[in-house]
Amino acid sequence: MEFKKCERCGCFFVSQDNVCYNCITKDRAEINMLKNYFDINPNIEANSLNALSIQTGISEKNLNRYIQDKNSDISDLVNNHLNM
């Protein structure tokens, strides 16, 4: 068994995922929030991650993680609304 450090809260845990069990729930909630935000504002274009962070209330660090998760459909969705 290999210990991993949670990318979100920094705690150590054993799993295949990059974030711990508690943070998976938080990630899912934020991703749903992001999807809703883009549903409500389909034409929004943020010119930086920081701007998007301010608009959505989701930290830049977490937005960055979601973008880098190529297995997730949120990556494309966020990139479609980023105009950097």
Q: Which residues bind Zn ion (CB under 5 A)?
A: 6, 8-9, 20, 23
Q: Which of 2, 4, 83, 76 is nearest to 34 (CA)?
A: 76
- Judge contact between 55 and 44, C-beta under 8 A: yes
Minimum distance from residue 12 beta carbon to Zn ion (Å): 9
Nearer to Zn ion, 37 or 69 (CB): 69
Q: Shortest Cβ distance from residue 21 to Zn ion (Å)?
A: 8
Smallest separation, CB 18 to Zn ion (Å): 9
> Cα 22–76–34 angle (5° rounding)?
45
Please identify, using beta-carbon distances, which residue of 13 and 37 lies nearer to Zn ion. 13
Which is nearer to Zn ion, 51 or 69 (by Cβ)? 69
Q: Which two tokens stand for residue 65?
A: 């993680």
